[in-house]
Structure 1
Amino acid sequence: MRTILHLDLDSFYVSTERLINSSLLQKPILIGGTNDRAIVIACSQETKAYGIHNGMPMKTAKELCPEAISISGNNAAYSKYSELVTEIIKEKVPVLEKSGISEFYADLSGMDKFFGTYKYAIELRQKVISETGLPISFGLSQNKTVSKVAVNVAKPNNQIKVDFGTEKSFMAPLSVKKVPMVGQKTYQMLRNLGIRYVKTIQEMPVDVMKGVLGTNGLTIWKRANGIDNTPVIAYSERKSISLEHTFNKDTIDLYKLKNLLVAMTENLSYQLRKENKLTACIVLKIKYSDFNIYTKQQKIQYTNADHILLTKVLELFNQLHQKRLLIRLVGIKFSHLIKGNLQINLFEKNTKQYQLYQALDHIRNKYGDQSIARASSLETHKLKTVSPLIPVIHKK
């Protein structure tokens, strides 16, 4: 029998800010920028009573709760504490999957014989709290879906164990919103059908759910019934995505080289967002005409935004490219990948910046990843027949 633990740092961004500045305790907090054109990335529990939620324009949030304290966000601190918690958990569990900057799955199967998994999970949670000062909750069950739902029921700063055989009854009274994969659009479809609670989905024939929602309907039906065989995938910091380009003719043309780096960075950034991932490390590679290879890397705050990554890539190129030799190959690699979304990287950006990324990605999803690009990188599209800009996922 499997035993899957899901740990989730409570209100991670708000908790981190309060850890750094204790004067923020029990005060309404809005994270996402200090100007009215920013968007709310995270908000404290005190603001939710005013109807404030993530993704809301900061101006609207401030109108609803004028006394709220606006914070631009400290991505460096969030990355630091995320990695600190990761190291604590990784040392104590057999298999760890980092599913986001503040969420973790661990497979504790078989440990009951020696430790008692619920007791062990409690001790692990207390270790995280005592060593970091951050509140954290967990759900423990036989699969990832039920454990994820359980941790949300357990919050704030608590724990729940769902015993084997009780998964279906645990899920039954919950809102269908609690089922993973049920977003706002799907929720509205289900509500239009008169489906409000998970129990109703459990009682429906699976063919009806498939008829309404297609293949997603089957997955939602299984999850509503507490069925999920998805494995915990071991977390590895060496997981990466990269691009390389070999020139037909070695070049020293800096204009061409930098435009190519722009195109490659755009492509990789889009792939990160498409797969809902963030990177914390950039590696730049140059191979010269004498076949000597040089690389330079830089750790960064978690991001998948073009403008942030592009600045860093060009900085690395300027630092690395010091020889007056012809260049045969350039490559970019983004590593230390975790799951995460675009919003946490746009603390100081306004809603137009966020909407621009959404619009560009929508066009790429519909017409292909090379369908739209910066003007400076257009020339590189002529190089596609020589060495296509196709990303490769590495997991060593």
Structure 2
Amino acid sequence: MDNEHTYDKANAACGETGPYAPSLFGSWTGPAIGLLDLDAFFASVEQLDHPDWRGKPVIVGGSPDRRGVVSTASYEARTFGVHSAMPSAQAKRLCPHAIWTDGNFSRYRELSARVMAILADETPYVDQVSIDEAFFDISPGRFNSESPLAVVRRISERVNALGITCSIGLGCNKTVAKIASERDKPRGLTAILPGTEEAFLAPLPVRTMSGIGARAEQALAQRGIHTLGQLAGAPDDILAPVFGANTTSVRQRAQGRERSRVHAIDEASPMKSLSNERTFAHDLTEQADIEAAIDVLGESVGRRLRKCCLTGRTVTLKLKYGYGSGRTAQRTLEAPTDDEHIFCRAARELLHTIWSPGVAVRLVGVCMSGFDHESGVQTNLFCELDERGAASSEKRALSVAVDGVIERFGSSAVGYGRSMRFDHDVVRRDKYS
């Protein structure tokens, strides 16, 4: 590993040389959750497949001449200020000598599957959250008796042997592992020893924790809260106006006391659908509100589809009514897509088949399925197929740009005005099955 770190103030007194004293890691107690993040994944694969591109700035994304957006930039390109979600035209101005490519998504999926197989060799508990990122549980005694550090070192070495690199964070829960994984990229390994989580988190800016975006950061700053340590100790009356029903869970995460579960892999049941549904504190009775809810849910579904490099053919709309019953409607699209501007339009068209004006709706759900799009595709004048054989609208580039902003700055950093009508009024549930 190029960058290996532990957070432990007692290392100097442990009686053994080096930052990874066996006495420390051999006695790791409690959960050991890792987060593996592939470094500049798409660009790294391109450099692997094109040896003459290695050491040079590589940008994967849409054409700078056609209002494209950067998907991934190699670390060589990042030194010029290029980053994901940046307009391609701007990236070209910053790094005019960069090598550009539209990308090879089937190749990315192939390498991703090989990395996930490495994790599956080490533990049956793996949560893949995107094509280049996965949580895994290597808690001693649950499935293995090895030091968690020995396991993550071996994982890193095996990934390196594929010709790409990763950064890994190791801690007692997903929040700690995620933050640790971002400490030393690329090729980093950061382990947060049991019992040091709160001290590790305390001095970090609140934005370091996922789920806290620009608006929440500003609201916290107005209340004198700038670090996770201050957030961890803040009372309910300070935090509730910012986080609502999520106040307790946010505070626990800032304290390092979150309890995380990594689900077991079921190889016989690959992901078949991806959905998002919300239960509303106040029933929706107006068509405009229900359609806005469909669009808001669809944004999340589209973002997850793109993050997982999935495109689906089938959209399902789910409603539950104020009096307890519910209905669903489904439509198969003419071409697979990850573009909410396409599948949400279909979902809105389904609304009139299962809802009548005035009927109270307490839950709305949007689901995409039918992820196998290798078969032939039929299209029409209202959609175009991109290089993946998927349907894309002119607005997809905007969605990709929003994805990048949210990935970098949190879910509250940017959004559409329609989502504001539902703030603090919903219970949200994302589902992957």
The bucket for the TM-score relative to the shorter chain is: 0.5 to 0.7
CA deviations over 1:218-263 (Å, ceiling 9, x no partner)? 43322221121121123445332399xxxxxxxxxxxxxxxxxxxx
Aligned to 2:41: 12
Correspondent of 1:47 among 74, 77, 99: 77
Provide the rounded CA distance (Å) in 2 between the counterparts of 1:107 and 1:226. 17
CA deviations over 1:126-147 (Å, ceiling 9, x no partner)? 12221x1110121111111101
Distance 1:199-1:97 versus aligned 2 partners, 3 A rule: same
Give the match's secondary structure for 2:183: helix
Aligned to 2:149: 118
Distance 1:68-1:283 versus aligned 2 partners, 3 A rule: closer
CA deviations over 1:305-361 (Å, ceiling 9, x no partner)? 37999xxxxxxxxxxxxxxxxxxxxxx95258xxxxxxx9799979743337999x9
Give the match's secondary structure for 1:79: helix
CA deviations over 1:52-100 (Å, ceiling 9, x no partner)? 3221111112122222222212211111111111112112213111111
Distance 1:345-1:111 versus aligned 2 partners, 3 A rule: farther
Superposed, 1:290-305 pairs within 5 Å as: 304-305=338-339
Provide the rounded CA distance (Å) in 1 between the counterparts of 2:82 and 2:400. 23
* Identical positions, percent: 27
Distance 1:197-1:355 versus aligned 2 partners, 3 A rule: same
Aligned to 2:58: 29
Aligned to 1:134: 164
Contact map agreement 1:31 1:347 (CA 8 A) in 2: no
Give the match's secondary structure for 2:230: helix
Distance 1:69-1:170 versus aligned 2 partners, 3 A rule: same
Contact map agreement 2:33 2:139 (CA 8 A) in 1: yes
Aligned to 1:318: none
Aligned to 2:285: none
Give the match's secondary structure for 1:137: strand
- 1:77 maps onto 2:107 in alignment: yes
Q: What is the aligned residue count?
A: 303
Aligned to 2:10: none
Provide the rounded CA distance (Å) in 1 between the counterparts of 2:82 and 2:390. 17
CA deviations over 1:16-41 (Å, ceiling 9, x no partner)? 11111122222222221223310111
Give the match's secondary structure for 2:170: strand
Higher helix share: 1
Provide the rounded CA distance (Å) in 2 between the counterparts of 1:275 and 1:347. 15
Provide the rounded CA distance (Å) in 2 between the counterparts of 1:159 and 1:85. 16
Contact map agreement 1:72 1:348 (CA 8 A) in 2: no
Distance 1:188-1:363 versus aligned 2 partners, 3 A rule: closer
TM-score (norm 2): 0.59
CA-CA distance at 1:282 after TM superposition: 6.4
Distance 1:150-1:233 versus aligned 2 partners, 3 A rule: same
Provide the rounded CA distance (Å) in 2 between the counterparts of 1:88 and 1:182. 32
Contact map agreement 2:198 2:256 (CA 8 A) in 1: yes
- 1:197 maps onto 2:227 in alignment: yes
Distance 1:279-1:225 versus aligned 2 partners, 3 A rule: same
Specify every segment of 5 or more residues in structure 2 that has no aligned partner in the other structure, as ranges: 1-29, 276-293, 315-334, 344-367, 373-386, 403-414, 423-430
Correspondent of 1:353 among 393, 396, 412: 396
Aligned to 2:370: 334
Letter paired with 1:2: P
Distance 1:184-1:334 versus aligned 2 partners, 3 A rule: farther
Distance 1:121-1:180 versus aligned 2 partners, 3 A rule: same
Specify every segment of 5 or more residues in structure 1 that has no aligned partner in the other structure, as ranges: 244-265, 285-299, 310-331, 337-343, 369-392
Aligned to 2:359: none
CA-CA distance at 1:169 after TM superposition: 0.8
- 1:240 maps onto 2:251 in alignment: no
Structure 1 consecutive aligned stretches of length 4 or more whose deviation exceeds 6 Å: 281-284, 306-309, 344-351, 356-359, 361-368
CA-CA distance at 1:204 after TM superposition: 2.4
Give the match's secondary structure for 1:154: coil
Give the match's secondary structure for 1:99: strand
Distance 1:159-1:356 versus aligned 2 partners, 3 A rule: closer
Provide the rounded CA distance (Å) in 1 between the counterparts of 2:391 and 2:68. 7
